[in-house]
Amino acid sequence: MARLYDNRKRILVTGGAGFIGSHLIDRLLEQGHDVLCIDNLFTGTKRNIDQFHNHSRFEFMRHDVTFPLYVEVDEIYNLACPASPVHYQHDPVQTTKTSVHGAINVLGLAKRLGCKVFQASTSEVYGDPVVHPQPEEYWGNVNPIGPRSCYDEGKRCAETLFFDYHRQHGLEIKVARIFNTYGPRMHPADGRVVSNFIMQALRDEPISIFGDGSQTRSFCYVDDLVEGLLRLMATGPEITGPVNLGNPAEFTIKELAEKAIEMTGSKSDIVYRELPRDDPKQRQPDIALARRTLDWQPAVDLEKGLGWTIDYFKALLPELADSR
């Protein structure tokens, strides 16, 4: 695969032991860079980075981004933050601090080093949208005091900080709004719909749909997402984002549940539960900006990506059964 960088860099990835972070590290090492992975292992796991530990260009540091960090690097990817409702609502104050204090700390580091810095933002900044699909110009419909606001408003504030550092200090920033992403290395108990449905289907347990299943989501395979992150980071200073990165193919939650049952050969039934407060009814990215500025669009369809993800969770089942 062609390299997107002209020379070898030392790159910091915060949240690097997480689902997306570990796949990003895969690609950065493949491209010949040195990678410093920072993670406090709150939701990240050593399993995701075990394969890197004997790699001569990989280094791991256990650290919480809510505290300042003093390292020497050429670029920074800030991915540190719990991303599933189960995890980010477990300690909502810490979730907000991770987004806000974490952004302040990585921006301060980038300012001192004079280096490019990337922020992993989220489609959750759009809240429960009244515009569909969601373009980057849409300001969102977010409840600032609801149970999801620790994540939604934390990420919105992080975007504010990134653009203020850019305007005030001339810092070169890149901001991506990441839509629902799935694939191997997802946490099996993270509460997100893809991992939930696959794990329930593999165990022949009832598949829980919250609401009537008519709400929609758009699912992007992790390799496609990482390709978008790399392309955004490789752009010149004139492109800051925010840029939507996600798959515009839209599915209802019920359709996803039925596909999980079909592809696993499960005997699971579907059961319906009360829809959580502030849960978005629709989520679909407008990726016209990514197509135009990054020449990027997803290549992996849902059925193919789900197949690879199901294979990953199948391989985990014996280990998970032993730990129950």
pLDDT at position 2: 39
Residue 120 lies in a domain: yes
pLDDT tens digits along 253-270: 999 999 999 999 999 999
Residue 216 lies in a domain: no
pLDDT at position 3: 44
pLDDT at position 1: 35
pLDDT at position 246: 97
pLDDT at position 276: 74
Residue 168 lies in a domain: yes
Query: Does residue 6 carry a pLDDT above 60?
Result: no
pLDDT at position 321: 64
Give the mean model confidence (pLDDT) for residues 137-147: 93
pLDDT at position 178: 97
Query: Does residue 320 carry a pLDDT above 90?
Result: no
pLDDT at position 91: 83
pLDDT at position 84: 60
pLDDT tens digits along 119-134: 999 999 999 899 999 9
CATH number, domain of 26, equals: 3.40.50.720
pLDDT at position 28: 98
pLDDT tens digits along 161-220: 999 999 999 999 999 999 999 999 998 887 788 999 999 999 999 999 988 888 889 999
Name which of 58, 158, 169 is nearest 118 in CA terms: 158
Residues marked as catalytic: 151
Q: How many CB atoms lie within 10 A of CB 251?
A: 17
Residue 26 lies in a domain: yes
Write down the pTM of the prediction: 0.93
Q: Do 116 and 236 touch, CB atoms closer than 8 A?
A: no
Q: Do 158 and 101 touch, CB atoms closer than 8 A?
A: no
Q: How confident is the model at residue 148 (pLDDT cuts 50, 70, 90)?
A: confident
Domain that holds residue 148: 10-181+221-248+279-299
pLDDT at position 87: 65
Give the mean model confidence (pLDDT) for residues 96-111: 97
Residue 4 lies in a domain: no
% of the chain residues with pLDDT over 70: 95
pLDDT at position 122: 95
Residues 6+ apart with CB under 8 A from 251: 216, 217, 218, 219, 259, 302
Average pLDDT, the chain: 92
pLDDT at position 324: 53
Name which of 21, 73, 24, 72 is nearest 42 in CA terms: 21
Name which of 149, 145, 169, 159 is nearest 100 in CA terms: 159
pLDDT at position 322: 58
Query: Does residue 56 carry a pLDDT above 80?
Result: yes
Q: How many domains does the chain have?
A: 1
Residue 17 lies in a domain: yes
Question: Distances from the Cα of 305 to the Cαs of 34, 180, 227, 260, in angstroms?
Answer: 29, 13, 15, 12
Q: How confident is the model at residue 43 (pLDDT cuts 50, 70, 90)?
A: confident
Residue 173 lies in a domain: yes
Residue 176 lies in a domain: yes
